[in-house]
Amino acid sequence: MDLYDIHTYNLVSDDSDDPYHSYILNVFPLGYEDAVGSYPKCFFTCGIHPWHSEDAEAQLHYLEEIASNPHIVAIGEAGLDKLKGPELGIQKQVFERHILLSEKLKKPLIIHCVKAWEELIALYKQHKPMQPWIIHGFRGKPELTKQLVKLGFKFTIGAKFRPEGLRLIPLEAMFCETDESELCIEEIYRAISEALKLDFEDFAAVIAQNVKSVFPDLIVNDLEHIGIEGVD
């Protein structure tokens, strides 16, 4: 069975039989080259975390240069955080550059959002994105969840989640992640499927279908068609 980890900082994050094709590693722009050198078959999401969005111009420029690389399958994590990082105005400017890049390159956006939901929703309505906006580590309350679902957001769920909110997310808008957790992706799939009272394999099959539609490159075994040379 294929288990997919949409957002992780752990280099070899799980015990799946094909770890190189089943997860998306998050890297900062200046860390990308080293990461791709060490893990040439890996897929990445690349962006500037809101905590580090102060004086980010050089990183942004570099991101804009490398983001079209086929190894990079999503933009982010990027977003807004009212508890940490520089003032929200700065975070917003940096986040908007990620939004534009995601739309321009037709790559999904992985979002970090803490206590800035109103601002996030305003940006969503303003930009009317065609690309999926995937909120990572989502553990929102039911009312917020309903609002985001209605607007068309997608969600990646990790080790910590709020079951009441989780149950309101349509399965086709859901992904799973380890992020920085020590749990492996299988344990996270298990916890979520149990909270949803779903059979583990049925749940995994739906998530695999979601991955196939949003991140089709993760499924393939032959990377050459997207311009990545196979290296062992």
Q: Which stretch binds Zn ion (CB under 5 A): 76-84, 142-150, 169-177, 187-195?
A: 76-84
Q: How far is residue 82's CA from residue 104's CA, in Å, rounded to a whole number?
A: 27
Scanning residues 8 to 67, which ones bind Zn ion (CB under 5 A)? none
Residue (92 or 112) nearer to Zn ion, CB: 112
The answer to whether residues 100 and 130 touch, using CB atoms and an 8 Å cutoff, is no
Q: To the nearest whole angstrom, how small is the minimum distance from the Cβ of residue 115 to Zn ion?
A: 13
**Binding Zn ion by CB under 5 A: which of 71, 92, 107, 112?**
112
Residue (107 or 112) nearer to Zn ion, CB: 112
Q: To the nearest whole angstrom, how small is the minimum distance from the Cβ of residue 79 to Zn ion?
A: 7
Residue (97 or 136) nearer to Zn ion, CB: 136
Q: Does 7 bind Zn ion (CB under 5 A)?
A: no
Q: How far is residue 42's CA from residue 212's CA, in Å, rounded to a whole number?
A: 17
Q: To the nearest whole angstrom, how small is the minimum distance from the Cβ of residue 230 to Zn ion?
A: 31
Q: Which stretch binds Zn ion (CB under 5 A): 74-82, 148-156, 204-212, 214-222?
A: 74-82
Q: To the nearest whole angstrom, how small is the minimum distance from the Cβ of residue 166 to Zn ion?
A: 18
3-state secondary structure the chain: CCCCEEEECCCCCCCCCCHHHHEEEEECHHHHHHHHHHCCCCEEEECCCHHHCCCCHHHHHHHHHHCCCCCEEEEEEEEEECCCCCCHHHHHHHHHHHHHHHHHHCCCEEEEEECCHHHHHHHHHHHCCCCCEEEECCCCCHHHHHHHHHHCCEEEECCCCCHHHHCCCCHHHEEECCECCCCCHHHHHHHHHHHCCCCHHHHHHHHHHHHHHHCHHHCCCCCHHHCCCCCC
- Closest to 199 (Cα-Cα) out of 1, 22, 23: 1
Scanning residues 165 to 224, which ones bind Zn ion (CB under 5 A)? none
Q: Which stretch binds Zn ion (CB under 5 A): 23-31, 106-114, 141-149, 154-162?
A: 106-114
Q: Which stretch binds Zn ion (CB under 5 A): 14-22, 69-77, 85-93, 122-130?
A: 69-77
Residue (36 or 113) nearer to Zn ion, CB: 113
| Number of amino acids touching Zn ion (CB under 5 A) | 2
Residue (123 or 228) nearer to Zn ion, CB: 123
Residue (72 or 223) nearer to Zn ion, CB: 72
Using CB under 5 A, list all residues that contact Zn ion.
77, 112
